[in-house]
Amino acid sequence: MSASNAPDEATTAPASDDAWLDAIAWDANGLVPAIAQEKDTGDILMLAWMNREALRQTAQKGQAVYYSRSRGKLWHKGEESGHFQTVHAIRTDCDNDVILLTITQHGHQPSIACHTGRHSCFYQRLENSASPAPQWQAAEPVLKDPQRIYKP
């Protein structure tokens, strides 16, 4: 490119460091749902929430950081349980209103992502859906007693 075709640096504004965060369609509370999907199995392990700082820290650390709505603070997954999540990819959907994390779940093997001691938070399956009284049934076993994961 010749000097005459080069963009004028004085008139070309640099992209905002937060432009990637600004692209997210945050809800009225400044949150976005985040799905954690296990890289090797494709299993959906959990859904949590992120605010701007949680997403920023996740990108910087390469480990999942969420926002706990019940505690009103950032939550580095695994800080209490030891079940950390290494993040391999961060994606957003077509509306930029859902985050998808491709992760490797660490800690107890087989991996535990759920606070109930199960592999996935999505362990309940609707049974007898055509009957007058469908019921939710646990479809995955408890791998480790939550009392042993979260010591008081």
Residue 152's pLDDT band, with cuts at 50, 70 and 90, is low
What per-residue confidence (pLDDT) applies to 15? Answer: 59
Q: How far apart are CA 71 and CA 33, in angstroms?
A: 16
What per-residue confidence (pLDDT) applies to 107? Answer: 82
Between 22 and 7, name the one with better pLDDT: 22
pLDDT in tens, 97-141: 999 999 999 986 778 999 999 999 999 999 999 999 999 999 999
Pull the structure tokens for residue 58: 């996740």
- Within 10 angstroms of residue 115's Cβ, the number of other Cβ atoms is 14
Query: Is 95 annotated as contributing to ligand binding?
Result: yes
Query: Is 27 annotated as contributing to ligand binding?
Result: no
pLDDT in tens, 68-89: 999 999 999 999 888 999 999 9
Query: Is 93 annotated as contributing to ligand binding?
Result: yes
Peptide bond into 110 cis (omega under 30): yes
Give yes or no for residue 38 having a pLDDT over 60: yes
Give yes or no for residue 45 having a pLDDT over 60: yes
Among 118, 135, 116, smallest CA distance to 126 is for 135
Give yes or no for residue 145 having a pLDDT over 80: yes
Query: Is 114 annotated as contributing to ligand binding?
Result: yes
Give yes or no for residue 3 having a pLDDT over 60: no
Residue 137 backbone dihedrals phi, psi, to 5 degrees: -125, 140
One-letter amino acid of 115: H
What fold characterizes domain 26-148?
Ubiquitin-like (UB roll) (3.10.20)
